[in-house]
Each structure stands twice: as C-alpha cells, then as structure tokens.
Amino acid sequence: MNAPGSFDLVLDRMLIDGAWVTAGSGAVIEVIDPATEAVIGSVPSAGPEDLDLALHASERAWESWRRVDPWSRTVILRQIAGSVRDRADDLGRVISAETGKPLAEARAESLATADQFDWYADEARRVYGRTIESRDPDVRMFVKHEPVGPVAVFTAWNFPALLPARKIAPALAAGCPVIAKPAEESPRTLVALASVCMHAGLPDVVLNVVTGDPAATSARLISSPTIRKVSLPGSVPVGRAVMRQAAERILPVSMELGGHAPVVVFADADLDQAVEVCLRAKFRNCGQVCISPTRFFVHERVAGEFAAKFTAGARRLTVGDPADMTTEVGPLANARRIGEVERLVADAVDHGGVTLVGGRRCDPLGSGKGFFYEPTVIGGANDSMAVMREEPFGPLAPIAEFGELDEVIERANSTPFGLAGYVFTRDLRTAYEASERLEVGMVGVNNLVIATAEAPFGGVKQSGFGREGGSEGVTAYTATKYVNMRLT
C-alpha cells in the first residue's frame, strides 16, 4: 500500500468489479465548471452491459461482505476516514471545480465526509438486537438485525462527497455492498472518493460506482433482483419516480427530498447573532443546501432592524472565483438554477416584494461566463409569492413579518415540505413550544449548523422518510429478524 496521500485520485473512470473501467460503448458525459462554463473532464456513460457487470459484482460481494465480522469492518471504515482526511485538500479541489463551491467550503465537506466513515466505523459494532422474555419457560425469543443486502445509492450534485458518504458508510458498516450513482453535474467527486476507499483497503467489488444517464441507470438497477434497498437524496419529482420503480419490487427506500426551511425570529432574539448565523447559512454553497434557511419570518417589532442588518451583511459578501480562498459565494451549479432564481425574484417583485440587495446575474470573473447570481434579499415578503411556497435552492432570502406565535407556526407549516426549521429566541418556553410545533424532521434553536454524523438527519411530509446519521443511519440498512426457539 502506498504511503498516505501518495496515490493519484481516479477521476475519469467507473469502478466496476474492482477495476477502473470506461463504458463498453465508449460513451462519455462531459463535466462543466459552473464558474467558467468550460469542460473540465468527462466520465463514462454506463450502458446496460456495464450496469449488469456492477450488479453481478455486487451479488458476489453480498456473499462475502455480509460474513466479514463487524470488528474487521470497523478497521476498514476507520482507515477510509483517515485516508479521506489525508486527501481533504485534493478532494476539496475536485468538489469546487465541478460544483462551483468555494474552496474553503469544499474542504469542509471533505472533512465532514471523513466524519461519516469515522462515526460508522464504531456503529458497525453496535447493531444491537434484543431478547424477549417468554411466557413459556421452554421458549427463547430474540431479535437481531441483519444486513438487508446490496444497496443502490443515487446522490445529488450539491454535496457530491458528503451525500454519498452518508449512505455508503452506514451500508458498509451494516454489511451491505453498494452500487453508487453520482449526479451527472458532479460525478468525479464520487469517483475520487471511491479511489480513496479502495486505497484505504476496502475489498474489491464491495463498492461499485457507475456514471451516466440517471433515468436509464436507476431503471436498470432498481429492476434487478440483486438490489435489496434504494437510497437517494433529490427533488420530490425524482423521489416519486424512484418510489414507483421500487414499488414494482416492494423494495425498501430511504429518501431525503426537498426542503423549504422556515426561520422564525422572535422579538426577544439576539438579533446580531441571528443575522450572522442566518447570513452564513443562507448563502453557503450559493443557497444550494437542502436544509438552507429559505423563508425568514421575523417578528414585526424587530423585522426592520433584522432586514437592515441582514441586507448589509449580504452586500458585504464576496462573490467570485471558487478557487480563491477569499471567495464566500460561488456560482450556481447550472443554467437551470439561474433561470429558476430569476423567475422567483420576478414573481416576488410582482407580488409586492422589494429587492433590498441583489436580484441580478453578475460577472465577478469579467469573462461573461459562469452561473453567478448576486446574494439577494427580498423585503416585504408575503405568502402569495412563489418563493414562499417553492424551495428556491439559490442565493435568495425572502423576509416576512409576523405578529403571534400561532400565526407564524401555521404559516411555517403551510408547505408540503418538512425537512428542517429554525427558531431564534432567548425564552425557553418559546423555544420548546415552537420546536415542538414545527412540522419538520430537524429543528435548530439559535443555531443553523445542525447536520452532523452523530445525529439523525431526515424529514417528514414530502421531504421524505428514513434517517441518515446517528444510530438510526445504520439500522436503515438492516432487516429485522425475530427468532422463536423452543428448547427440546
């Protein structure tokens, strides 16, 4: 094995059956740098034969990996975590180049990815069962959790290392082999992550990575009897499509879908702290974060002050080259996101909103290229605006006023989404009541940095079901078996 950090990261191949391969057809998908719109590389576009090879490899891996004892799986996952940390800068550069994420944020994603493998290295040994006391003295009853089988993992483009790690690490910890498919916008990161896993000692065929057309790939993998579970983050329409396919085979599915996180700022909140925390969270990854704060409800007594401070902070943010360590906001991921943000801003203005800052495309590199959009704050937001009903997934912050707790809770819960919600208050009763009444899977009180490997991550309503992170994350990749044994 090479010394830590001394190996070359693979970027332009698929990992199938322990080998780095091109597509059998030779077809490729080009990868675009969203800051320059230049082609920065390509990955293979897998065909049916390529996918079948990955499925056969995963079937074989299922017979061997499930029998590897948890202590040995712990050692391998810990080695992967260390190797990811060793290569955090290199992985960060790959992430930044294909997503437009500022380099500092991209490196932080690499380290958070390592945390996933580190956490599940321990959880591999803590998949506990239980005994049940029988009413019959000659009967013993117990429950155990067994690996569910080969897993198909589909991931989104906005966190191309962290999102797959949230699924791959617990699946491997539970004893399940994985076939992973990255988003076509940012596929090279997952390929690079897989090369780190292989270098760290993950056995051949336990992890396969395929790249290519998402619809064709998901249909082929999900229809295969090899696959025993499906896991994905994505939009609600994508989630529905995958669920329909999984329903044909009665496959268990874990889904983290869209969000539209309300932020409720009460009159007694520390406004300076609330503004600073909200500002950084809102414009992180150019607003392309599933738990990004997207609807700001501020009490009418402090709404003007909050809006003024928030707007001043947004105006000071540095938009620019993601590879520059001083850049705070990079480009959106693709041209589609630009169009969506422009539509939402125009609609907000048509419905009485005021653009306090931003509201336009920009060209910080002076090249006339790149999917850059100014950090934008909309004052006077109201519930008739599309941005208050639809997840913006961009650098757009609408600020609305409220008067009473009951009113704001009703408005915050008015969308079909329920991933995350946030509350700012100094009053303990208000903090408890608001966090209990928000219809979301996760609540941050005076804090928006809530995603961490050791805590469950997931939503309710149309934001999906199942949890990643924490002890809940590994049991999602197990099947419960009950044994009733009569002694003879």
234 lies in the same domain as 316: no
DSSP states of 282-329? HHGGGG--TT-EEEEEEETTTHHHHHHHHHHHHHHPPB--TTSTT-SB
Q: Which pLDDT belongs to residue 7? A: 86
Reduced to 3 DSSP states, what percent helix, strand and coil does the chain have, rounded to the nearest 5? 40, 20, 40
> What's the mean pLDDT when you consider all of the chain?
96
CB contact at 8 A, 335 and 343: no
Tell me whether residue 256 is one of the annotated catalytic residues.
Answer: yes
Q: What are the phi and psi torsion angles at 298 (to 5°)?
A: -120, 135
Cα gap 341→108, rounded to integer Å:
26
In the block, residue with structure tokens 């591999």: 124
Mean pLDDT of 456-465: 96
Residue 458 domain-assigned?
A: no
Displacement of CA 371 from its chain's centroid (Å): 21
280 lies in the same domain as 209: no
Residue 133 domain-assigned?
A: yes
238 lies in the same domain as 270: no
Cα gap 286→314, rounded to integer Å:
12
Mean pLDDT of 388-392: 96
171 lies in the same domain as 238: yes
Residue 3 predicted with pLDDT over 50: no
> Domain residues for 393?
261-453
94 lies in the same domain as 146: yes
Q: Which pLDDT belongs to residue 2? A: 42
- The CATH number of whichever domain residue 312 belongs to comes to 3.40.309.10
pTM: 0.95
Displacement of CA 7 from its chain's centroid (Å): 27
Q: Which pLDDT belongs to residue 5? A: 54
Task: For residue range 413-450, list pLDDT tens digits in order.
Answer: 999 999 999 999 999 999 999 999 999 999 999 999 99
Mean pLDDT of 233-247: 93
Number of Cβ within 10 Å of residue 449's Cβ equals 11
Tell me whether residue 185 is one of the annotated catalytic residues.
Answer: no
Of 98, 105, 109, 256, the catalytic one is: 256
Residue 147 predicted with pLDDT over 90: yes
* Number of domains present in the structure of the chain: 2
326 lies in the same domain as 244: no
Cα gap 91→7, rounded to integer Å:
13
335 lies in the same domain as 410: yes
218 lies in the same domain as 279: no
Of 98, 290, 374, 439, the catalytic one is: 290
Q: Which of 147, 243, 25 is nearest to 479 (CA)?
A: 147
Residue 375 domain-assigned?
A: yes
99 lies in the same domain as 168: yes
Q: Which of 235, 378, 373 is nearest to 296 (CA)?
A: 378
Residue 9 domain-assigned?
A: no
